[in-house]
Chain A
Amino acid sequence: MARETTNQLSSRQPLLEVRNLKTQFFTAEGDVRAVDGISFDVYPGEIVGLVGESGAGKSVAVRSIMRLIEEPGSIVGGEIRFKGDLLVGFEEHATQPTKREAVLSDEVMRRRIRGREIAIIFQDPMESLNPVYSVGSQLEEIIALNRDVDEPTAREIAVEMLGEVGIPEPDQRFSEYPHQFSGGMRQRVLIAMALACEPSLIIADEPTTALDVTVQAQILRLVTDIQQRYDTSFIWVTHDMGVIAEICDRVNVMYLGEIVEQATVDDLFHDTKHPYTESLLGALPRPDTTVDELTPIEGVMPEAIDPPPGCRFHPRCPDAREVCANRRPDIREDPDRQGPPHWTACFKNDAFDVGYWESEPLDGKRTSRGFDAGGGERR
């Protein structure tokens, strides 16, 4: 695993900077704030995790990076910078893209960024390949499109790529159709397609969710292997803390369109700060501890169309107090910390001075959507 020391990271220039990104969907029921002001960095050669429940806005966040958001959604704020180019740029509090510096045009975005610099692997390997063309010709298409090579060379590279991702007899399988591949094999093909143009960043949008665990393990091994060989950065979107522990260097935990905790993978697992992250970890079966029952997170995630006031997690949070229901925490770095930065959006964080510890616990006042005191004893 390419786990760099985080001190080194901070001195380097980030590959991708996401600042206060906001993406909304304008539906008949109201505006859905799918992504509501998230910020994170991806440094060269690292695997950054983006973890959260379904509907937390993970996929929307990564699609926003590629500017693939479609009607009725649109990016409404924030800034995304990739290798110095501005992919998304809004002035602070402005609703129109900024004029002070050119945001890449759609044409440039398509030609220079998509596929060539940033590639994406989608969730469902069953659906991400076109059933009417052979696997090889689809791979060849991407190569011919993004690299300046002629057709025989593109074919050669395509066969080579198939072998690279561990497909046996790539020569023969080149001309086979997607339905002749199993799920794991298709996912390998998709990885080959993403790798085809040697991008600097690959976004993996839950690529192993549709696979069973043995195949998932193989794919994860392949990815870490590739990551080391090509020195590609990854953004790994998942809801599986196990996968995060397996491959990520740093992790962003998302809840209802916000990033609530941001830390290295070691810190996240061993020095968990945010109650939501704790809940996620509590719901994960672990071989090193024996528990009679896993602890589910009580309640369901509210709709992003009408997020709860105050801290968005407070209706489900076991540690919620009065102040959490009234004020909304932003994400802050722990001031007293030594070592790699660790950010949390929780009033328990010492960076906040809002009287959390003096505030009344909310336990008695919870609604049906909230937390049941009986099942909530953590750890």
Chain B
Amino acid sequence: MAHDSATDDGLTEDSVGTGTEPDVRGVESRVGAWNTLSQIRGDPTALAGLAIISVVTLVALIASVDYYLLDYWLAETFWVHPARDPQEVEILLPPVGLENDFGQGTWEHPLGTDHRGRDIAARLFYGTRIAMLVGFVSTVIGLVGGTLVGSVSGYYGGWVDDVLMRAVETLYAIPFLVLVIAFMAAFGRNLTYAMIGVGIASIPTFARLLRSRVVSVREEEYVAAARAAGVRTRWIILRHVVPNSFAPVLVQATLQIGLAILIVAGLSFLGFGAQPPTPSWGQMLNQSRDSMLPNPWFSIWPGLAILFTVVGFNLLGDGLRDALDPHIEEE
């Protein structure tokens, strides 16, 4: 390290440091966002994950801007409107270069058309927006809720811990999908409630994960030092405890985004998520059920999109886990 040569009163302290110092430095030097990034750069699978996520995010951003600010201006001007039925209906066309009972695939609809003649490529493109929105929003809800519950529970311990953890375990005991569907049955069937439902249902995972780390980090001497210096408890939790406990939660969050996308696609498939005509991948899968035989591509495309995105998040999650856990490299 660059500063090992720091001298003090003419003595090289480094040469006479405590015995454990080199090891400790080896581990601690792997702290920090910059370091994590450079770790990932050397990991091809994580890089692949990052690349996939970047592409998907970019697509989602363009689609969002077009949807929220321009009201499908891009699509209507240069492309095909994803939500409106077209004038001349050419239903269930195959992708370009293939042929089926309904006709020949053309470059006008490179991935084919759906059962109402809408362009599948356009619907996939705009469906990305829903998938990413759902993944991020529900994960952030779970992350914030779980962090709150987990850190308070782990830091205070005692009856606070007991009450919070029993509550969380109760939530954990209910099957994920059942919980989300029950939530939507109570509040309403739309995308917002799907996101909130998935977010709440993922709180237990985050809370338990964070708590287990907080319980050990709260015993660290820098926490005692902060307390002795008169730092407010909530500030100690926020500034000293949570950042030092956060690595596994971050990994889980990355995996959770993929999982949330999958779950909400499943909900949409069941008719609980985004409602037509809003294009979403799960809903496309649902609509493709009746025409799977004449045109299998109708269901293959959204399936591939989901697979691609979820794999991307899982690869990055695994890479992050390796980068953030100092013990893995030692093995």
B17 adjacent to A146 (CB under 8 Å): no
Known: A116-B230, A179-B25, A182-B14. A127 touches B222 (CB 8 A): yes
Confirm or deny: A66 has a beta carbon within 8 angstroms of a beta carbon on chain B.
Answer: yes
- Per the bound structure, the CA–CA distance linking A126 and B222 in Å amounts to 9
Convert A90-132 into 0s and 1s, putting 1 for each residue whose CB lies closer than 8 angstroms to a CB of B.
Answer: 0000000000000000000011011110011011101111111
Confirm or deny: A214 has a beta carbon within 8 angstroms of a beta carbon on chain B.
Answer: yes
B244 adjacent to A131 (CB under 8 Å): yes
A183 adjacent to B17 (CB under 8 Å): yes
Confirm or deny: B328 has a beta carbon within 8 angstroms of a beta carbon on chain A.
Answer: no
- Per the bound structure, the CA–CA distance linking A210 and B8 in Å amounts to 17
B16 adjacent to A179 (CB under 8 Å): no
In the complex, chain B residues 239-286 whose Cβ is within 8 Å of any chain A Cβ: 239-240, 243-244
- How many A-B residue contacts, CB cutoff 8 Å? 120
A183 adjacent to B18 (CB under 8 Å): yes
Question: Considering residues A120, A131, A176, A182, which has the most beta carbons from chain B within 10 angstroms of its beta carbon?
Answer: A182
A176 touches which one: B3, B20, B158, B227 (CB < 8 A)? Answer: B3
Confirm or deny: A184 has a beta carbon within 8 angstroms of a beta carbon on chain B.
Answer: yes
- Per the bound structure, the CA–CA distance linking A182 and B17 in Å amounts to 7
Question: Considering residues B28, B227, B230, which has the most beta carbons from chain A within 10 angstroms of its beta carbon?
Answer: B230
Confirm or deny: A185 has a beta carbon within 8 angstroms of a beta carbon on chain B.
Answer: yes
- Per the bound structure, the CA–CA distance linking A67 and B181 in Å amounts to 50
- Per the bound structure, the CA–CA distance linking A141 and B238 in Å amounts to 13
Confirm or deny: A148 has a beta carbon within 8 angstroms of a beta carbon on chain B.
Answer: no
Confirm or deny: B9 has a beta carbon within 8 angstroms of a beta carbon on chain A.
Answer: yes
B229 adjacent to A114 (CB under 8 Å): yes
A114 touches which one: B17, B21, B221, B228 (CB < 8 A)? Answer: B228
Q: Which residues of A contact B18 (CB under 8 A)?
A: 126, 183, 210-212
A115 touches which one: B11, B31, B224, B229 (CB < 8 A)? Answer: B229
B229 adjacent to A142 (CB under 8 Å): yes
B229 adjacent to A146 (CB under 8 Å): yes
A131 adjacent to B28 (CB under 8 Å): yes
Confirm or deny: A6 has a beta carbon within 8 angstroms of a beta carbon on chain B.
Answer: no
Q: Which residues of B contact A185 (CB under 8 A)?
A: 6, 8, 13
Confirm or deny: A193 has a beta carbon within 8 angstroms of a beta carbon on chain B.
Answer: yes
- Per the bound structure, the CA–CA distance linking A107 and B326 in Å amounts to 39
Question: Considering residues B8, B21, B225, B231, which has the most beta carbons from chain A within 10 angstroms of its beta carbon?
Answer: B225
B28 adjacent to A178 (CB under 8 Å): yes
Convert A122-163 into 0s and 1s, putting 1 for each residue whose CB lies closer than 8 angstroms to a CB of B.
Answer: 111011111111000000011001100000000000000000
Confirm or deny: B85 has a beta carbon within 8 angstroms of a beta carbon on chain A.
Answer: no
- Per the bound structure, the CA–CA distance linking A178 and B220 in Å amounts to 15
- Per the bound structure, the CA–CA distance linking A86 and B220 in Å amounts to 29
Q: Which residues of B contact A326 (CB under 8 A)?
A: none
Closest residue on chain B to residue A211 by CB atoms = B18
A166 adjacent to B230 (CB under 8 Å): no
- Per the bound structure, the CA–CA distance linking A338 and B243 in Å amounts to 58
Closest residue on chain B to residue A127 by CB atoms = B221
A181 touches which one: B3, B225, B226, B244 (CB < 8 A)? Answer: B3
Closest residue on chain A to residue B25 by CB atoms = A179
Confirm or deny: B103 has a beta carbon within 8 angstroms of a beta carbon on chain A.
Answer: no
A126 adjacent to B20 (CB under 8 Å): yes
Besides A115-B230, A122-B225, 9 new A-B residue pairs in contact (Cβ under 8 A), listed by A number? A71-B158, A115-B231, A116-B230, A127-B221, A145-B230, A177-B28, A181-B6, A182-B17, A218-B8
22 contacts between A and B (CB under 8 A): A68-B224, A68-B228, A71-B158, A114-B229, A115-B228, A119-B229, A122-B225, A126-B18, A126-B20, A127-B221, A128-B221, A128-B222, A128-B225, A129-B225, A145-B231, A168-B6, A177-B31, A177-B32, A179-B31, A182-B8, A183-B17, A218-B11
On B, residues with C-beta under 8 Å from A are 1-4, 6-9, 11, 13-14, 16-18, 20-21, 24-25, 28-29, 31-32, 157-158, 220-222, 224-232, 239-240, 243-244
